[in-house]
């Protein structure tokens, strides 16, 4: 059975933190559109420049660009057993585009889709975003408030430099929340109506959320 997971949640709700753990344990590729787009921006390509003009304003990057990136990624061999989508789809339009992509690539394959929604209050989220640091080498995610390292500038896993994302300012975070509530939250109803949605309390601590997440994964998905 091909295992397909989608994670929906506001900025800073912990999608990246949890999906990285799940990806490692389940040995499934973690496909995070935000990181794929940041790589495109760093490459200096025309698509990257276009993406950046939306990302720095907390808006969604145009669907044509995101759909191409996602389809190319899902067609790679490592997705044959399944995948974890973090931050995609992010609008009804993208959800319908994903339906079409999956219909095409899952033809004649038995697959099961589960959607997880991370629910958490906005005050907690702003605090998490302004305190987030990511490793510039391995992408590990830290929270300045809860990390126990003496040197808060270096990654404990690989020694890489810890950096702050350009869109993690209060000003851009506000715009990202507006975009999320207007364009992404309607997906909660869409997937709930389809009977695919599980809601998780994402205000808890990281390990408790991960245990709840694993407990909510349908058993046949392990087979
Ligand atoms: P993206 O990079 O996907 O950002 P996001 O959705 O805003 O989500 P974040 O990565 O900010 O948060 P997260 O939920 O992953 O939280 P994390 O685990 O890091 O997208 C960036 C931009 O790219 C978008 O604004 C858009 O422009 C564009 N884009 C992306 N996808 C697109 C798409 N499909 N279509 C169009 N445009 C797209 O955790 C946050 C912090 O909290 C960390 O410091 C972490 O250590 C800490 N933390 C996590 N969990 C806990 C916990 N339980 N307790 C305490 N601290 C915690």
Q: pLDDT per residue over 64-83, tens digit each?
A: 999 999 999 999 999 999 99
pLDDT of amino acid 223: 44
Probe ligand 1: pick from 14, 74, 152, max atoms within 8 Å of CB?
14
> What average pLDDT does the segment 3-20 reach?
97
Q: Is the pLDDT of residue 35 over 70?
A: yes
Calculate mean pLDDT across residues 121-144. 92
Q: Which residues line ligand 1 (CB under 6 A)?
A: 9, 11-17, 33-34, 37, 54-55, 58-61, 66, 87-88, 90, 94, 128, 131-132, 141-143, 146, 167, 176, 205-206, 209
Q: Which band of pLDDT confidence, cut at 50, 70 and 90, is reported for residue 219?
A: low
Residue 146: exposure state from Cβ atoms within 10 A (0-12, 13-18, ≥19) = exposed
Can you give the pLDDT at residue 85?
98
Arithmetic mean of pLDDT, 11-40? 96
pLDDT, position 108: 86
**How many Cα atoms within 13 Å fall on the side-chain side of residue 60?**
21
49 with 43: CB under 8 angstroms? Answer: no
Cis peptide before 89 (omega within 30 of 0): yes
Question: DSSP secondary-structure letter at 112?
Answer: E
Taking residues 121-135, what's their average pLDDT?
92
Task: Inform me whether the pLDDT recorded for 190 exceeds 80.
Answer: yes
Is the pLDDT at 185 greater than 50, yes or no? yes
Whole-number percent of the chain with pLDDT over 90: 89
84 SS3 class: strand
CA 62 to ligand 1 centroid distance, Å: 18
- Residues recognised as catalytic: 15, 90, 132, 165, 176
* CA distance linking residue 166 with residue 127, whole number of Å: 15
Q: How confident is the model at residue 151 (pLDDT cuts 50, 70, 90)?
A: confident
Ligand 1 atom nearest 88 alpha carbon: 34
Three-state SS at 57: coil
pLDDT for 222 equals: 47
Closest CA to 83 of 36, 119, 125: 36
Q: Which domains does the chain have, with CATH numbers?
A: 2-29+76-120+170-222 (3.40.50.300)
Mean pLDDT of the chain: 94
């Amino acid at each position: 059975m091909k295992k397909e997971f989608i994670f929906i949640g506001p900025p800073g709700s912990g999608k990246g933190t949890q999906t990285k753990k799940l990806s490692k344990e389940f040995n499934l590729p973690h496909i995070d559109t935000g990181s794929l787009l940041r790589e495109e921006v760093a490459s200096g390509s025309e698509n990257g420049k276009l993406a950046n003009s939306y990302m720095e304003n907390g808006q969604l990057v145009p669907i044509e660009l995101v759909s191409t990136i996602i389809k190319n990624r899902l067609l790679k061999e490592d997705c044959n057993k399944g995948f974890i989508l973090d931050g995609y789809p992010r609008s009804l339009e993208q959800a319908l585009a994903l339906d079409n992509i999956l219909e095409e690539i899952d033809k004649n394959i038995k697959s099961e889709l589960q959607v997880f929604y991370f629910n958490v209050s906005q005050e907690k989220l702003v605090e998490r975003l302004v305190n987030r640091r990511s490793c510039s080498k391995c992408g590990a995610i830290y929270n300045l408030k809860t990390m126990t390292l003496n040197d808060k500038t270096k990654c404990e896993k690989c020694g890489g430099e810890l950096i702050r994302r350009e869109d993690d300012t209060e000003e851009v975070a506000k715009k990202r929340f507006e975009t999320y509530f207007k364009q992404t939250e309607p997906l909660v109803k869409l997937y709930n109506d389809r009977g695919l949605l599980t809601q998780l309390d994402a205000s808890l601590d990281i390990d408790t959320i991960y245990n709840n997440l694993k407990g909510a994964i349908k058993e046949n998905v392990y087979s």
